[in-house]
Structure formats: C-alpha cells, structure tokens
Structure 1
C-alpha cells in the first residue's frame, strides 16, 4: 500500500510550500498569510521508485474551542489518525513556540511515527537552528528549506524507511486480482458486491455513508481469484461533515492506488456531477485500469436512457478508454459482462508488448500521418519499446520529440490502443530525445571554420593593404584615353 505522509504544524510555518515541493505541483495555495489552508489537501509524490500519498493540513491549534480554528484543528487531528507517518513542520527562524510544544504533546499520544522538519533554515548553520527543537522530544530534527528544496530529500528518505519497493502491479501466481469498487455515496457499491457474491456480505442500506471503511472480500469466479474492495462513498469536501466519514476518504484513495482494476459506480437516477468526474480523474491519474458501471438502470424508459448516455459522453470523455456497462445491482442484471470487462482491463494493463511490433506500429503511424513541422525541422520518430506496465508505458525515441504537440501524442495513443486492443487501461507515452554524439566535436569544427574565414579576409602579404584614395582613383580615370585619338 502506498504510505500516507501527513504535514502538520502551527499556521504559517511552510506546510503548503513543502506539500508543493513533495508533489512537484502548485496545487496548494502559498502566501505569507497565516491560516490560508483550511481543508485537507491530498497529492501524489515519488522518491525514486517509491510512491507516497501526502496530505497537507491547515494550521493546527489543539487548544481552539470553536470557530474556524477549531474546525481546522479537527481536520488536522483526523489526518493524524489516518497517517502512516507524520511530519511536524516548525519555523527555524522563530524558534520553539508554546504551540509547537502543545502539538508535539498531542503527537506523542498519537502512536504514529513522527519527524520534525525545521523549515526556513536556508543560510543558517543547521546544527544551531535545530538545537532548540530537541526539547520537543520527537527525535532528531531535520533542517530543511521547503522553498529551496534543501534537506527535503533526506526528510522523505527518513519518512519512507521500512516501506518496500513497489511491484509492477501484477499479482503473483495464485494471488487474487484486487478490484476496488468506488463512487459517490449511496450509488449501490455494497449492493453490487452482495449481488456478485450471492449473499449479504456487507451492509447495504438506503442511507449515504453506510460503509465507512475499505472492506476486502475474497471470492472466486470461473477459476480465478478476486479481492473485491468495498469503499466508502467519496463526496465533495464541503459536503463531508461527520468525523468518521472524513476518516474514510484517505482509505478510499489508498484502495484505488492499491487496486489492479477499479469499478466506478454511477447512479443512473442522479445527475452525473462534477464529483463523478473528479473520482474518474483521480483513477486515471493513478494509472488504474477502469470499468464504469452505471447502476439502477432498471425501470428507466428509452428517452431517459439516451439522455444519460449523452451526458456520460459529454462529461467523461477523458476516460474513453474504459468500457461502460448499464447494470442493476439490486436485480443482478448486467453483472456477468461487467466482470468480462474487468478481466479484459486487467489483461490490457499488464500486457507485454514486443519492441519490433511497437516499432512497426510507430512507423505505420508516421507513414499515415507525419508529425507537424516545428520551424524548419520535422520531429523524427525512430523506434519504440515498452517502459512499464499497469499502466502500459510506451517509450518513443527520436529527434526533436520535445516539439511534438499534444494532439499528435493523442493520435499515437489512440492508434497504439487500437492496434494492441488496450481497452480498459490508461496508456502513457513518453518521448525520449536522442542526444547528438558529435555535439562535442561541432564546436571545435565551427571555430576552425571561423578561423579560415578570417584568414581569407586578410591580404596575402605581411603588410596590410592600403585603400586607394578617391583622388588617385579619379586621376587614373582621367589619364586613361582611348587608342586612335589626337
């Protein structure tokens, strides 16, 4: 499972700056204003081949009793309870405060690994800047600068100690395929699992938020083992009020990360909203194979069904690689084809692609439609090979590939998906620009050419040639007479 790292600390110590540094994004707002971050913010990070989930929190004031600071403290405390590792961010320029001590006291009772990151330590002696923070009693502090990146790698290496290198997402022989069932609350996820199992294995109730944790259910179908993961419903943060439900969000995100295939359940009787699109986007960003189940399809007339299909086409075009199934979990309709698509999506996500076949497909694609010119030059695509699985990664080598537009990348993605039948999984294409092996020799050669050009411009004799004055040229013209004159 991808470990979760939670950033906590008093307001304005640089948590959001560190969040942006760890995720290599600008998703968190950063300004010199205390209390700018209020809700929890989730993001992805990677150290080498080790991925992790990082959570930014608002300013933590444990003693707050009401108002927005109390709500922010609740959010931070909930994130701490969910965390695998907690990083307490403190301000190295202002020293230890009473609030830092109170937060450290809370963390000592949280039964979670804690690291102290002394931020804003650029230009200072690290031994001196961390000395005061030993009194927090949370181990050896680490001096960092989130704004400049100093010490951040050392901090994350300490946070990820003990977590193994991830595999390629394919279970070993005899293991089961993990299938996470996700969606908004009350769309019928638990009902679908019970219908697949043929028994009431999980609680299914007509009330949003019945499921509050990710529940693993093992079963076997057609000789193949599966692990179904029933997850809590994901809703907009502004709609999440209950404390226990907030605990469930990170569990659902981790279930998506850990799964080989995700079934996104939509409610045909509710409008397809932005939250459905956000969940689908998170699944695509995570690189998981995807199957979409539009539930509660029974009892709808043909006109409503056509309207729903049109809305899906308009709002979920970015997951056009996924197969859509229209099912009724309560009636058990359409579930058999659904799992055929699960098997196909898993097979596509873990497929092995040979280099000769990829290269031939690439050559055919360029012959059919060459990449557009960029100035005087046209990018040249030479060969392709597979760079990873789950999701499949195709690496293309050539010249000037950094000039290829996004539209041509989508053209290649569509063609590769069609040729190799990669239905149900995201496909990633990476362009590697070949380096010029003669780049180091070109500079001396150009210097020699410049020297030759300069030498040709000089006169042959050692003394410089003097230009003839205008008067001498005019006198020479006058003395020149045609033959046969007087």
Structure 2
C-alpha cells in the first residue's frame, strides 16, 4: 500500500510550497496571497526510496461564504483519503484561532497527525515552537519549505513504517559489494532488492511489443473563458464534486489533473483556469494561471474548448482557438449552457460559428448542458474517434498511394520551369499527426498546394477532430560538387 500524505492547514502557511518541494515539480501555484489554492491537487513523491502520494489542499478558514464552504469540503475529502496528515502552521505568525479549530477537527478524524511549524528560518526555534504544544499533537517539527530545511528528516520520520534498509550497515557492506562469499554473513532482511541483469538489451520488436502493452491515458484539457462551466463539466463527467464550482469568475486557479476510467479506457481530465483578454488581467497570479492553462494545452492529447452557447464567439475565444491549433492538439468545441435552446436557435448559433471558424470544418461541435449532464455521451464518442484517428498507424504504401492520387487530380505547380515531383510519403509522428513527403523541389511547395494536400489526406483517411501537418524533405543533389569542379 502506498502511503497518502495530506497537507492541512489554514491559508498561506506554505502547503503548496511544501507540496512542490516534495514532488520536485512546480505544479502548485505559490504566491504570497491569501487562499490561493482552492482545489485539492495530487502528486507523487519519492523519499529515501519510498513512494508516496501527497495531497495539496485549500486553506481551512472560518468563513460562511459558498466558496469557503466548497474549499472546506475539498480539505475534508483529503483528510478522509489520507493515511497520515501533516498539520502545517506558520511559525512566524504564531498560534491563531483557526489553528485551534483545525486541531479539533483533526483529532475527531482519528488519523495520524504530525504538527509541522513552517517558515522557521531566522527565528529562535525553541521559543517559536512553545505555543504550538497546546494543540495536543506533541512536539512540533520545525521546517522551512521554501529553503528545504528539515523537510527530508521530517518525511523520513513520517514514512518510517514504509522505509526499509537496503544493506547491512552494522557490517559495513555496501549493497553493490554484496557477493556470494559475504552473502551468508548478511541478514536477508537487509537485502530487500535483488540485483537485476541490465546487460541484456531488448530487440526492436520486443521494444515495440512493450510499448503496445502500455495503456496510455488520454489527456483531455478543458479550456475556455472564465465562468463558461469548465469545472461544472469536469464534475459532471466524473459524477462527483471533485473541483470547486462557484458563480464567481476565476474560481479555478490551478490546472487540476484528475484520473478517471470510462468504458474500460483511461482518461486524465485537466480542469484549467479561465483565460481572459490580456488587457483585463490585473493580478499577477492570474498571469501564472493563464501560463499553466497554456502548458496544459501543450501537455494534453485533446482539448475541449468550452463556449457559452448563449453568447457569441468572441475574439478571445478565437485567440485561444488559434493557440490550440498551433500546438497541434486534437480539438472538440463544446457549447455549454444550451439547455432550453430550441432547434432553430441552435441552428442559428451553429451558422454563426461556422461563419467564423469554417476553416476547421473537421472539428466536432456539441451542444451540452454540464449542469444537467445532457450530451456528455456524444462528447466521449467524439473524443474516442479523435484519439483513435490521431494514433492510427498508417502504412507508407497507403500514404504514397493517396499522395499520387492527389497529384493526378491536381498536379504540383512549376518552380523555375520545373515541376515539383513528389516521390513517396510516410508517417512521422502523432499529436499532431505528421506526414513526411519526400521528393524534388518539395521545399518550394506553395502554401495553397500544401493546404490542398492536407485536405486531400484528411478526406481520404477520414480524419476527424485532429490536427494534420506535412513535412517536406528532399535529398541532396549528388552532382552539385561535380558541377563546381567542372566549372573551376
């Protein structure tokens, strides 16, 4: 069993900083801002050879507004899932009434709790820890998450039931020096990891078979402007209140990765922060939220662009759409809040969208209601189709045949009195689907003919919802050097 460590505390005590320190990533946003984290975030950490799962939670505060209640629910779920809890307090701010309230709730949970005093650098440690003894969790453990002070010792103590020694340290025999002669002198409990033979290399066929056996989870990024229903859609797909939903625009600040399974397929939903026009972004933290959203698009296999069906498609939506297309991700357009719209109104909305984005007629458009769950099944049908198209293995002979059919119907143009010659084509990669075309003078192919080839490949292969790119390569002319010699 992998231990699960939940980071609990009031806002702005350094939970996200410690989370990033443990996971050795920068997935959680960190800033000197009250209540920055709102959704619980999961990450994998490895301490002294022991794997564990860390949960970063929102700060628990004594407020009665809807957003604070939703954040408190997220922390309660994390406490219920955790094996052990790190109760983090601020050594600089001292003991506050919110800490006492959280301590009472943690005692009712009957979980193993470690009291951690963060931000200890520059303070008198013993004097700073005195008042935290009254919380009733024993001696507080001083750390500084931003500098890493005391973090390793703390985690080794927390994970001590799961950490086992590898070698017999009293005998002074390192693991790599264990031989048949001294093996009998070493207790077997100190040799938990058996040596493996790394000399044998896998053949190309064995490597391909291993890759085929890996069940790759489909990463789906849900993006759009603030308050269009991205978090509501995430909860609707999951069938539970996984992320915080509130009427306040900009509720989601982090990009939250959530694993799920549907129809025997693995998915990872990425709920992202809303992207507003640059002129309306005033807070610095919102800039980092937008950066995380753009990174989530690049990390995803497929992007669901969520629009408000009752509003016209804006310039900001077009800007976000342009970034998705340039990143080469598969795309599905979601028109949310479409409940109550008549068929005639939907047709008008679709005509308006087609007038603005008619150049991407290969993308599926779905009218849904994330609040009531209407149309979700059709969305997953399009997701499966787009992912299968993006990962389809296409033989070189098939691509070459389609390319020759395209050149027969419409020949390549002349370049300096010589016609471009396309010899053969083969697949070059996925996400986006890349087709490499070899020939003579192919690098001089005009953009209009490139678009013709892209559309011809897309129609012939029946590719829906995915990006398709062409790469042109031409061989070196073997007579260039000879011509230079003759001319000299």
**Residues 214-363 of structure 1: pairs in structure 2 closer than 5 A:** 214-363=255-404
CA distance in structure 2 between the aligned counterparts of 1:313 and 1:386, rounded to whole angstroms: 30
CA distance in structure 2 between the aligned counterparts of 1:250 and 1:313, rounded to whole angstroms: 29
CA distance in structure 1 between the aligned counterparts of 2:275 and 2:438, rounded to whole angstroms: 40
**Partner SS for 1:227:** strand
CA distance in structure 2 between the aligned counterparts of 1:198 and 1:229, rounded to whole angstroms: 15
**Partner SS for 2:384:** helix
Counterpart of 1:403 (choices 420, 431, 444) is: 444
CA contact (8 A) 1:289 1:424 kept: yes
Counterpart of 1:371 (choices 389, 405, 412) is: 412
Query: Residue 444 of structure 1: CA displacement?
Result: 4.1
**What's the C-alpha RMSD, in Å, of the aligned pairs?**
2.5
- Give a deviation string over 1:360-410, Cα, whole Å, max 9, x none: 111111011101223411111111111211111111111112332111101
CA distance in structure 1 between the aligned counterparts of 2:297 and 2:484, rounded to whole angstroms: 52
CA contact (8 A) 1:211 1:232 kept: yes
With normalisation by structure 1, the TM-score equals 0.55
* Residues 429-438 or 357-366, more deviating: 429-438
Query: Residue 171 of structure 1: CA displacement?
Result: 9.9
CA distance in structure 1 between the aligned counterparts of 2:441 and 2:355, rounded to whole angstroms: 35
**Residues 42-441 of structure 1: pairs in structure 2 closer than 5 A:** 173-441=214-482
Structure 1 residues 391 and 186, CA, compared in 2 at 3 Å: closer, same or farther? same
Structure whose alpha-carbon radius of gyration is higher: 1
Query: Residue 218 of structure 1: CA displacement?
Result: 1.7
CA distance in structure 2 between the aligned counterparts of 1:391 and 1:429, rounded to whole angstroms: 10
CA distance in structure 2 between the aligned counterparts of 1:332 and 1:172, rounded to whole angstroms: 34
Query: Residue 219 of structure 1: CA displacement?
Result: 1.4
**Partner SS for 1:229:** strand
CA distance in structure 2 between the aligned counterparts of 1:275 and 1:238, rounded to whole angstroms: 11
**Partner SS for 1:435:** coil
Structure 1 residues 211 and 356, CA, compared in 2 at 3 Å: closer, same or farther? same
CA distance in structure 2 between the aligned counterparts of 1:374 and 1:438, rounded to whole angstroms: 20
Query: Residue 244 of structure 1: CA displacement?
Result: 3.4
CA distance in structure 1 between the aligned counterparts of 2:463 and 2:415, rounded to whole angstroms: 31
Unmatched tracts of structure 2, length 5 or more? 1-23, 28-144, 149-210
Unmatched tracts of structure 1, length 5 or more? 5-108, 113-169, 448-486
Query: Residue 318 of structure 1: CA displacement?
Result: 4.1
CA distance in structure 1 between the aligned counterparts of 2:285 and 2:216, rounded to whole angstroms: 32
Work out the number of aligned pairs and report it. 286
CA distance in structure 2 between the aligned counterparts of 1:267 and 1:353, rounded to whole angstroms: 37
* Residues 405-414 or 297-306, more deviating: 297-306
CA distance in structure 2 between the aligned counterparts of 1:2 and 1:345, rounded to whole angstroms: 30
Query: Residue 310 of structure 1: CA displacement?
Result: 1.9
Query: Residue 195 of structure 1: CA displacement?
Result: 1.3
